[in-house]
Amino acid sequence: MISKSVVKSLAALAHESRLQVFRTLVVAGPQGLTPGELAQTIPIPSATLSFHLKELSNAGLISNVRNGRNLHYSADFQHMNQLLEYLTENCCQGLPCSAQQPPLCDC
């Protein structure tokens, strides 16, 4: 993952409403949610929700699939995992961390 993509993803998540939308879509799993379903879960006006969905989509964090007349938004788990890998690739002084072994760094 290139740093430009990482910065774009982190910038998209650096807003409370977008972070809440993204976390809700992660919980929803691969089937995702429609904007109407998201609006029932998160008290955001539909125009604002649409803007946040666009920002998350432009950052590569979510994708949408048309199902009839509905759009279903879902978290892009591959992108999310790549972002997490990028952020933690040098953790523990480059050594693999395990649950049994405490990390060598204060992270």
pLDDT tens string 69-95: 999 999 999 999 999 989 888 777 767
Domains in the chain: ranges and CATH: 3-94 (1.10.10.10)
Is the model more confident about 33 or about 103? 33
- Comparing C-alpha atoms, which of 90, 89, 94, 92 is closest to residue 102? 92
Instruction: Please state, as a whole number, how many other Cβ atoms lie within 10 Å of the Cβ of residue 44.
Output: 19
CA atoms 33, 74, 9, 19: torsion sign: positive
In the predicted model, what is the mean pLDDT of the chain? Answer: 88
Residue 107, pLDDT score: 41
- pTM comes to 0.83
| Contact of 25 with 75, CB cutoff 8 Å | yes
Cβ neighbours for 35, distance < 8 A, ≥ 6 positions apart: 46, 49, 50, 53, 71, 73
- pLDDT bin (cut points 50, 70, 90) of residue 97 is low
